[in-house]
Amino acid sequence: MIELLSAANAGVLTLLILALAALAYVLARHRALRAVDGDVRRLHSLPSYYGYAAAMLTAVPALLVLAVWLIVQPWLVQMQVAQTIPAADGARAVETLPALLSDAGIALGGTLEPAIVEAAQQHARLRALGHAGRSLVVLVLAIAGLVAALRMTDPTFRARNTVESGVRALLILAASLAILTTVGIVLSMLFESINFFRAHPWQDFFFGDSWSPNFRGDSDLSILPLLWGTLYISFIALAVAVPIGLYAAIYLSEYANNRVRSIAKPLLEILAGIPTIVYGLFALLTVGPFLVSVFGRGEDGLLGVDWMNGATSVLTAGLVMGIMLIPFVSSLSDDIINAVPQSLRDGSYGLGATHSETIRQVVLPAALPGIVGAILLAASRAIGETMIVVLGAGAIARISANPFEAMTTITTRIVSQLTGDTDFASPETLVAFALGLTLFVLTLALNVLALYIVRRYREQYE
Amino acid sequence: MTDVPNPAAPIADPRGASSLLTQDARTTRRNRAEGRFRLYGILAIGVGLLMLLVLLVTIISRGTGAFQQTYLTLPVELLEAKLDKKGNRDIEDIKKVSTFGYSPLMNAALEAKVAQAGIETELEPKAMAALLSKDAAATLRDFVLENPELIGTTVEFEFLVNSRVDGYLKGRVTRESIANDKSINAAQLDLVDALVAEGSLAKRFNPEFITGSDASDQRPEAAGMGVAMIGSLFMMLVVLALALPIGVAASIYLEEFAPKNLFTDIIEVNISNLAAVPSIVFGILGLAVFINYMHLPSSAPLVGGLVLTLMTLPTIIISTRASLKSVPPSIRDAALGVGASKMQSVFHHVLPLAAPGILTGTIIGLAQALGETAPLLLIGMVGFIASNPPDGIASGLMDPNSAMPAQIYEWAKRADPAFYERAWGGIIILLVFLVTMNAIAVLLRRRFERRW
């Protein structure tokens, strides 16, 4: 019996609970109808509400307990096991336990300390116990809910009100998931970042000048070269996207007739819908080799210069990212330029200004805060972009002003530190979380700033 | 001007003689500036559209090759002595013969073909066999296992050829480019030319690229997208099953029920910020929470789906709220007026009327999720060969698999022109899915959108 209970995984349990809930619906609806001999008018609510109320009482508490259990159990088990391990290597050893666990059944190599093996076995025991307890509690709860709901079902039971407050609670829960996600993002990165800063000095991370991870330990892990690469590439991307996007937005909103607008605008926006992996491949295989043929290869090249050695470079990634950002800048700016009141333009024309003078001296200054906001949003996009730089920017961390050199970015390093065989106890892996947290804070700050500027601007004309 | 001008003396125009019919220098300059400004706008749009065109032309010109593959048609004698030594056609006995048992048959067939066609070549049999794909023997074995009754007969079989030969027929590999290539030499290309002239070596449409599985980095000619597509499909199912109900529920609360208070404000700020968080951060979240903490299997489409759900939720919530907002208040008032509760007015009247808009937003959100790569790298959906199609819903969700964009990245990383061609071809398949989804969204909007 216990084995059966501990074998039931979360998916099976959920299905069981849902089946019980369906049963509760049928039984309660039937019971309510029978209590009034089929005369619906004597019921407080429509018959189906009695069914829904019973189904909710059966399923919701059980599913909630299941969810909480899923989240809390691993943590409790780890805490328990951590106490049995000698304090010296306690925290680190527990981190690696899950990996050891799979080996616990078979013969272990001599490298493991007995305390850790014992801890691993205890871990497995506690987990099995936890699973059995979980199945038992959840199923008992569901059946208890079913019985209670059936007993409550009589003609005076305010079933609709019960169902509606239950649904309301579920709606609030769904809406709170956004908060939960943010909290999850921050906590998951914060804890691992703290672990990282325990193993690696924070001065080196923030103020060091080189990045050379070395999996034997003793690595230089400084964010500055990565930050430089990120900002340099983003700068080139914005230098491409802002003029093109802005002029395109101005032309579309001020000059173009409806036909041109209805064709050109969706076409430009296709650029924003193309997955970034496509841009990454485009950078690596098309733009990179093209740039090499122009700026590289010495005498054989188009310019006869030898500035560029490989296809991956700051310029490659920046140019392609710029193309990706064009529609981002253009459609945001387009909306903002359209929001400038027509009366401002009419006033300017009345004074004898030409169309372009009106745009440059009246419309753009009025739209400037919004456009700055749009550019900041685009910058935050550029900083967080991953696939283009992973494929197009290269992997060498350096601080240099030469756009033809390969450089690396924060996102690239996160990918390379967290893919492949990773050991979550080493600073070389944990640094990815500190990088992720920095990236999150950076893009969040840019977004908040951009939204603040846009919102303040909007108030002017309302 | 304070002085009354003297009518006798004409006013001296500070800009010189002026007439409405001739432009003075300043007006000319201003008009020219106007023209230039306009030109910049046209140029900007032109550059944007040109980039789109270049991108699409590149994808199509480089990717269509992946949908064609070169096959060598040979009559191969399925010797009973080799394949079924006991002669009782017992499928278990036939299965015991590994691909090494099939290679000699294949190579003999090739030699026979060369001899029969009268092609002069100084190549060793081994060098001739190198033209065939490393996967060819396995394909032949699978074919025999499916049709054991053909053992002892001679069948016409289409063998996959090596990716270099394939590249030669597609123009990717040339006689100049193979100078430093150890896998193929000029003599082999002579044989290829002869076989092409003879008609047994030819390109044809390659359905395996769409339905097949990935192959190891030695045999790009056998790699396909099929298994990755199934992985993507399962991820999208997870996203649809979670993001749609949760997103709609959250939007209904925020749009219809939420009081104006601090809690609601916090939720709103969170949603707009989550929409702008870089996708890789969601990957870190998935790695830390779903894999390291909850011990869900890494590389599983279930985990990928969960991560993409969190990423897609803000998109779905924003579009759902817009379509709920567009349902006029009169509908709600009418429902309340005939005695519906607030909840009934929303679920029976507002939600069905907003459904087309919600559906459109969901499809667009799914399309975004389908093309997303970065979070999948962190939860381990790359770096292995997605070779076995899952055999059920549970294994489809929990077994390691790849996804379309992750597979494309994997091929791009293998640094072999033959795999690059696959990557571009994979992009065509991915874009076909995205275009279809967006077209459905546009059609839904056109067909069902109501202007109140």
pLDDT in tens, B150-176: 888 888 888 888 888 888 888 888 887
Q: Are residues B299 and B413 in the same domain?
A: yes
pLDDT at B15 over 70: no
Residues B307 and B345 in one domain: yes
pLDDT tens digits, one per residue of B286-329: 998 888 887 788 888 999 999 999 999 999 999 999 999 999 99
**Mutation site for A-interface testing, chosen from B51, B348, B404 by largest number of A Cβ within 10 Å:** B51
The reply to whether A150 and A227 lie within a common domain is: no
The answer on pLDDT for A407 being more than 80 is yes
Banded model confidence at residue A90, pLDDT cuts 50, 70, 90: very low
Q: Percent of chain A having pLDDT more than 70?
A: 88
Closest CA relative to residue A339, chosen from A459, A245, A248: A459
Mean pLDDT computed over B412-418: 85
The pLDDT-based confidence of B10 (bands split at 50, 70, 90) is low
CB-defined contacts A:B, below 8 A: 261
pLDDT of amino acid A410? 92
Residue labelled with tokens 């667009």: B364
Question: Is residue B22 in a domain?
Answer: no
Residue with tokens 């493991």: A112
Range of weakest confidence among A423-432, B33-42, B274-283? A423-432
**Whether B200 and B230 share a structural domain:** no
Secondary structure (3-state) at A216: coil
Chain B interface includes A174 (CB < 8 A): yes
**Within an 8 Å CB–CB cutoff, is residue A445 touching chain B?**
no
Contact of B317 with B365, CB cutoff 8 Å: no
**B199 and B230, same structural domain?**
no
Q: Is B28 domain-assigned?
A: no
Torsion from C-alpha of A206, A212, A215, A218, nearest 10 degrees? -60
- Residues on chain B touching A414 (C-beta within 8 angstroms): 280, 284, 378
- Domain coverage including residue A37: 2-157
B273 in reach of chain A (CB within 8 A):
yes
Domain span at B137: 69-204
What is the chain B residue with the closest CA to A186? B285
Contacts of B271 in chain A (CB under 8 A): 178
Residue A206 lies in a domain: no
**Residue A384 structure tokens:** 């967080």
Question: Are residue A304 and residue A399 in the same domain, yes or no?
Answer: yes
CA distance A187 to B293: 12
Residues B442 and B356 in one domain: yes
Return the higher-pLDDT residue of A5 and B110: B110
> What CATH code is carried by the domain that includes residue B420?
1.10.3720.10
In whole angstroms, what is the distance from residue B151 CA to residue B79 CA? 7
> Which residues in chain A are closer than 8 Å to B47, comparing Cβ atoms?
244
Residues A82 and A223 in one domain: no
State residue A249's pLDDT score.
93
Cα torsion A65, A68, A70, A72: sign: negative
Q: Using an 8 Å CB-CB cutoff, list chain B residues near A9.
A: none
Q: Please indicate, yes or no, whether residues A226 and A89 belong to a single structural domain of this protein.
A: no
User: Among B204, B237, B271, where does a domain finish?
Assistant: B204
Residue B267: inside a domain, yes or no?
yes
Q: Which two tokens stand for residue B44?
A: 């900007």
Do A101 and A245 sit in the same domain of this protein?
no
Tokens at residue A315, please?
């310029």
Separation between Cα atoms, residue A171 and residue A176, nearest integer Å: 9
pLDDT at B41: 93
- The answer to the question of residue B56 being in a domain is no
Is B174 in the A-facing interface, judged by CB distances under 8 Å? no
The answer to whether residues B240 and B313 belong to one domain is: yes
- Is the residue at B9 inside a domain? no
pLDDT reported for residue B94: 77
pLDDT number for residue B4 = 54
- Whether chain B has a CB inside 8 Å of the CB on A338: the answer is no
- Closest in B48, B283, B382 to A271, CB measured: B48
CB contact under 8 A, A436 and B284: yes
Contact A31, A153 (CB under 8 A): yes
Q: How far is CA B177 from CA B121, B168, B181, in A?
A: 22, 10, 8
Is any Cβ of chain B less than 8 angstroms from the Cβ of A112? no
- Strand A211-212 and strand A220-221: pairing? antiparallel
* pLDDT for residue A106 is more than 50: no
Q: Does B38 contact chain A (CB < 8 Å)?
A: yes
Confidence of residue A429 (pLDDT cuts 50, 70, 90): confident
ipTM for the whole predicted complex goes beyond 0.90: no
Flag whether A192 is in a domain.
no
In this predicted structure, the answer to whether residue A55 has a pLDDT above a threshold of 90 is yes
Q: Binning pLDDT at 50, 70 and 90, where does residue B438 land?
A: very high
- Is residue A334 domain-resident? yes
Do A414 and B383 make contact, defined as CB atoms within 8 angstroms?
no
CA distances from B193 to B123, B162, B186, B219 (A): 14, 14, 10, 22
User: Does residue B159 lie within any of the structural domains?
Assistant: yes
3-state secondary structure chain B: CCCCCCCCCCCCCCCCCCCCCCCCHHHHHHHHHHHHHHHHHHHHHHHHHHHHHHHHHHHHHHHHHHHEEEEEEEEEECCHHHHCCCCCCCHHHHHCCCHHHHHHHHHHHHHHHHHHCCCCCCCCHHHHHCCECCCHHHHHHHHHHHCHHHCCCEEEEEEEECHHHHHHHHCCCCCCCCCCCCCCCHHHHHHHHHHHHHCCEEEEECCHHHHCCCCCCCCHHHCCCHHHHHHHHHHHHHHHHHHHHHHHHHHHHHHHHCCCCHHHHHHHHHHHHHCCCCHHHHHHHHHHHHHHHCCCCCCCHHHHHHHHHHHHHHHHHHHHHHHHHCCCHHHHHHHHHCCCCHHHHHHHHHHHHHHHHHHHHHHHHHHHHHHCCHHHHHCCCCCCCCCCCCCCHHHHHHCCCCCHHHHHHHHHHCCCHHHHHHHHHHHHHHHHHHHHHHHHHHHHHHHHCCCC
Q: Smallest Cβ distance to B373: which of A75, A178, A387?
A: A387
pLDDT of A34 > 80? The answer is yes
CB contact under 8 A, B420 and A189: no
A245 CB neighbours in chain B (<8 A) are 44, 48
Task: Give the per-residue pLDDT at B129.
Answer: 80
The beta-carbon neighbor of B49 closest among A251, A264, A443 is A264
Q: Which two tokens stand for residue A165?
A: 């407050």
Minimum mean pLDDT among A47-51, A171-175, B70-74: which range? B70-74
One domain, residues A39 and A119: yes
| Domain total of chain A | 2
Tokens 């919102």 correspond to A455
Looking at the complex, report in whole angstroms how far the Cα of residue B288 sits from the nearest Cα belonging to chain A: 6
Identify whether B221 is part of a domain.
Answer: no
Is residue A354 located within the same domain as residue A217? yes
Cβ separation A386–B55 shorter than 8 A? no
Nearest beta carbon to residue A451 from set B254, B272, B310 = B272
**Structure confidence at residue A94 (pLDDT):** 47
* Phi, psi of A224, rounded to the nearest 5 degrees: -60, -45
Between strands A220-221 and B68-77, the pairing is: unpaired
pLDDT at B370: 94
A167 shares contact with chain B (CB less than 8 Å): yes
Number of H helices, E strands in chain A: 18, 2
B58-92 tens-digit pLDDT: 999 998 888 888 888 888 888 777 777 777 777 77
Q: Residue B372's closest CA among B291, B437, B283?
A: B283
Taking alpha carbons only, the member of B214, B280, B161, B130 closest to residue B426 is B214
Mean pLDDT of A97-116: 51
User: A48 with A129, same domain?
Assistant: yes
Q: Are A85 and A116 in contact (CB under 8 A)?
A: yes
Residues A145 and A228 in one domain: no
Nearest CA in chain B to A415: B378
Whether B165 and B255 share a structural domain: no
C-beta atoms of A284 and B343 within 8 A:
no
Q: Is A341 helix (H, G, I), strand (E, B) or coil?
A: coil
Q: Are residues A56 and A131 in the same domain?
A: yes
Q: What is the reported pLDDT for B295?
A: 77
The count of structural domains within chain B is 2
Task: Give the CATH number, domain containing residue A240.
Answer: 1.10.3720.10
Q: Tokens at residue B99, please?
A: 């691909």
Q: Is residue A271 part of a domain?
A: yes
Arithmetic mean of pLDDT over chain B: 85
Residue A103 has pLDDT above 60, yes or no: no
Does residue B314 sit at the A interface (CB-CB below 8 Å)?
Answer: yes
The per-residue pLDDT of chain A, averaged, comes to 84
The reply to whether A77 falls in a domain is: yes
CB A432 within 8 A of CB A203: no
| CA-based nearest distance A444→chain B, Å | 7
Beta-carbon separation of A189 and B284 below 8 A: yes
- Distance, CA of B184 to CA of B188 (rounded, Å): 7
Burial label for B143, CB within 10 Å (0-12, 13-18, 19+), is middle
Same domain, residue pair B293 and B169: no
Using a CB-CB cut-off of 8 Å, the residues of chain A touching B343 are: 164, 167-168
* Closest chain A C-alpha to B213 CA, distance in angstroms: 20
What are the pLDDT digits (tens) for A189-224? 998 899 888 888 888 888 888 888 776 667 788 888
- pLDDT at res. A58: 92
Classify residue A181: in a domain, yes or no: no
pTM: 0.87
Q: Are residues A300 and A387 in the same domain?
A: yes
User: At CB < 8 A and 24+ separation, what contacts does A154-158 make?
Assistant: A154/A32, A154/A35, A155/A32, A155/A35, A155/A36, A155/A42, A155/A43, A155/A44, A156/A44, A157/A32, A157/A44, A157/A45, A157/A50, A157/A53, A158/A44, A158/A45
The three-state secondary structure class of A37 is coil
Exposed / middle / buried, residue B108 (Cβ in 10 Å: 0-12, 13-18, 19+):
middle
Report the residue from A177, A384, A447 with minimal CB separation from B250.
Answer: A177
Question: Is A126 domain-assigned?
Answer: yes
Any domain includes A344: yes
- Interchain CB contact of A172 with B (< 8 Å): yes
Let me know whether B427 and B310 are in one domain. Answer: yes
Distance from CA of A106 to the nearest CA of B (A): 20
Residue of A nearest to B408 (CA): A277
Beta-carbon contacts of residue B291 (< 8 Å; ≥ 6 apart) = B297, B298, B303, B379, B380
Q: Is residue B156 part of a domain?
A: yes
- Output the pLDDT for position A89: 47
- Over residues B191-207, the pLDDT tens digits come to 888 888 888 888 888 88
Q: Are residues A77 and A149 in the same domain?
A: yes
The whole-angstrom distance between B311's CA and the closest CA on chain A is: 10
Q: Is B60 in the A-facing interface, judged by CB distances under 8 Å?
A: no
